[in-house]
Amino acid sequence: MGNALFYHLTRSPAARLVPLLLGKSLQAGWRVELRGSDRARMARLDDELWLAEGFLPHGMAGGPHDAAQPVLLTMAGEGHGAAAAECLIALDGAAVAPEECAAAQRVCIVFDGNDPPALERARDQWRALTGAGVGAEYWSEAGGRWERKR
């Protein structure tokens, strides 16, 4: 069973962290599902990943080559989940089921700690996943760099 890693953003936007997580996942040889709940945000991420320095190969779900994408951008609740993905990165409170954690090598839940509803949603996700037996880690950038907190 993969762990759920919770990334508490306080200093930088998700758009800065996501490429780092994607790069590490691709280096590990994993296929990735990047799941969001805001269509406009996912479209911006799609553009940023195409144009960013150090291009990260990816595609938006719903295309003819979804199964071949190393990184597939999906929308929560649309049933496009990348079944073969070893890593799931969830943004904006996108739901993650304990069964998905069991099937993945890693699950990353990225949330904005400056947004009270996002913070509460992340706490709910933590309780739901750990209550189902999923191992969880909490990562914070509050000190200026990413650190695992205990």
Catalogue all structural domains in the chain, each as residue range(s) with its CATH number: 3-149 (3.40.50.10110)
Asked whether the predicted pLDDT for residue 39 surpasses 70, the reply is: yes
Average pLDDT over residues 37-53: 83
Residues 6 or more apart in contact with residue 124 via CB below 8 angstroms: none
The token duo for 116 is 């009270």
Percent of the chain whose predicted confidence (pLDDT) is above 90? 57
Q: Where are the beta strands (DSSP E) in the chain?
A: 3-9, 32-36, 59-60, 71-75, 87-91, 106-112, 136-140, 147-149
108 within 8 A of 100, measured Cβ to Cβ: no
Q: What is the SS3 assignment for 41?
A: helix
pLDDT attached to residue 77: 74
Asked whether the predicted pLDDT for residue 81 surpasses 60, the reply is: no
Average pLDDT over residues 45-72: 82
Asked whether the predicted pLDDT for residue 4 surpasses 80, the reply is: yes
Asked whether the predicted pLDDT for residue 42 surpasses 70, the reply is: yes
